[in-house]
């Protein structure tokens, strides 16, 4: 009798479990954007992360063709990279064709920074320079990533699947940022925090799951905005598995872009504060995209 009672109890328990209603599924909607911004159209609502959000922080600096953007002091620039690297920052650096071909210290900076662990992206304002930039970097021992920066959105449709120069072939895999007009004037630059696959030049803000290229919007590049984003994530906002944000340093001043005060000391203090947050990781721009792919490619757009 005792065995029959036990068996009946188990059957009742299993019946209750099977018939119990499942918990309702919650769709996480993309963050709202201002009326002047375009919300990427997602093919399906992004899913809520079941493992929490990881904020991947990267750092970049772009050395342009114009000499007034070149590092003023080679050793000071490399020492800056070394100190910040030692603190945990992962660098993604871009050098435009004019600097690579004309600056006496270009090869030294590329090689020594690569030895520190920095990655070199393909930074070109003219798509015709992509092949040559990649070839130069590779010849100096810095295998370029698949990241395109310095990019005009109108050139998206014209990007080739592969570029060749001097027998060297390079293929783009992702875009960092993107601008609608040159010169970094107000309204030109993409300041969103976003990860998705653009559809075309005319539908750049429409996510295409089958798209060839990943687009990472690195935010405003300011330290304060990165901390604000981290605070929001800590409070449960933006529940996407992988979010990327990029701080940006001017190579000639060694300060955060557009800031007159955020120098090396401010950046190191920022790193210390961010490292206290368990969901923060330091990664290059390319590594951030790789993490996004590994986490299921949950597309999102956060207007900053």
Whether 126 and 148 have beta carbons less than 8 Å apart is answered as no
Whether 224 is in a domain gets the answer yes
Q: Please write the tens of the pLDDT for every residue from 118-139.
A: 999 999 999 999 999 999 999 9
Min mean pLDDT across 135-139, 177-181, 204-208, 250-254 is at 177-181
Residue-range definition of the domain harbouring residue 109? 57-302
Find the angle CA(178)-CA(184)-CA(188) to the nearest 5 degrees: 55
Asked if residue 4 has pLDDT above 60, the reply is: no
Neighbouring-strand partners of residue 282: 57
Instruction: Read off the pTM.
Output: 0.84
Whether 43 is in a domain gets the answer no
Domain count, the chain: 1
Q: What confidence score (pLDDT) does residue 177 get? A: 87
Give residue 230's pLDDT band: very low, low, confident or very high (50, 70, 90). very high
Structure tokens at 206: 């429409």
Whether 183 is in a domain gets the answer yes
Q: How far apart are CA 243 and CA 302, in angstroms?
A: 10
Higher pLDDT: 183 or 58? It is 58
Q: Which residue do the tokens 């871009």 mark?
A: 94
What is the mean predicted confidence (pLDDT) over 49-67? 88
Structure tokens at 137: 């970097």
Whether 33 is in a domain gets the answer no
Pairing of strands 119-123, 193-196: unpaired
Structure tokens at 43: 């093919």
Q: How far apart are CA 160 and CA 284, in angstroms?
A: 24
CATH code of 66's domain: 3.20.20.510
Whether 4 is in a domain gets the answer no
Whether 49 is in a domain gets the answer no
Structure tokens at 215: 């687009």
Find the angle CA(51)-CA(54)-CA(57) to the nearest 5 degrees: 170
Q: Find the length of the chain.
A: 304
Q: How far apart are CA 134 and CA 121, in angstroms?
A: 8
Whether 19 is in a domain gets the answer no
Whether 24 is in a domain gets the answer no
Q: With the CA atoms of 245, 155, 153 and 131 taken in that order, what torsion angle do they form, in degrees rounded to the nearest 10?
A: 10
């Amino acid at each position: 009798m005792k065995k029959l009672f036990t068996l009946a109890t188990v059957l009742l328990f299993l019946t209750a479990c099977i018939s119990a209603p499942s918990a309702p599924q919650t769709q996480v909607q993309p963050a709202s954007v201002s009326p002047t911004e375009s919300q990427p159209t997602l093919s399906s609502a992004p899913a809520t992360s079941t493992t929490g959000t990881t904020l991947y922080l990267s750092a970049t600096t772009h050395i342009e063709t114009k000499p007034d953007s070149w590092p003023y002091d080679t050793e000071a620039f490399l020492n800056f990279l070394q100190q910040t690297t030692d603190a945990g920052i992962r660098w993604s650096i871009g050098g435009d064709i004019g600097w690579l071909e004309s600056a006496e210290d270009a090869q030294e900076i590329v090689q020594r920074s690569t030895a520190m662990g920095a990655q070199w992206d393909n930074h070109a304002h003219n798509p015709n320079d992509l092949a040559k930039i990649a070839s130069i970097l590779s010849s100096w021992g810095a295998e370029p990533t698949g990241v395109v920066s310095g990019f005009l959105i109108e050139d998206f449709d014209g990007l080739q699947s592969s570029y060749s120069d001097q027998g060297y072939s390079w293929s783009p895999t992702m875009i960092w940022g993107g601008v609608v007009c040159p010169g970094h004037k107000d309204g030109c630059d993409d300041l969103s925090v976003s990860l998705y696959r653009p559809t075309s030049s005319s539908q750049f803000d429409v996510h295409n799951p089958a798209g060839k290229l990943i687009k990472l919007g690195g935010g405003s590049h300011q330290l304060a905005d990165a901390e604000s984003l981290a605070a929001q994530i800590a409070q449960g906002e933006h529940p996407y598995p992988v979010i990327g944000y990029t701080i940006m340093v001017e190579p000639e001043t060694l300060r955060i872009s557009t800031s007159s005060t955020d120098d090396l000391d401010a950046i190191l203090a920022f790193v210390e504060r961010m490292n206290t947050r368990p969901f923060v990781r330091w990664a290059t721009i390319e590594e951030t995209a790789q993490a996004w792919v590994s986490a299921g490619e949950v597309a999102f757009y956060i207007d900053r």
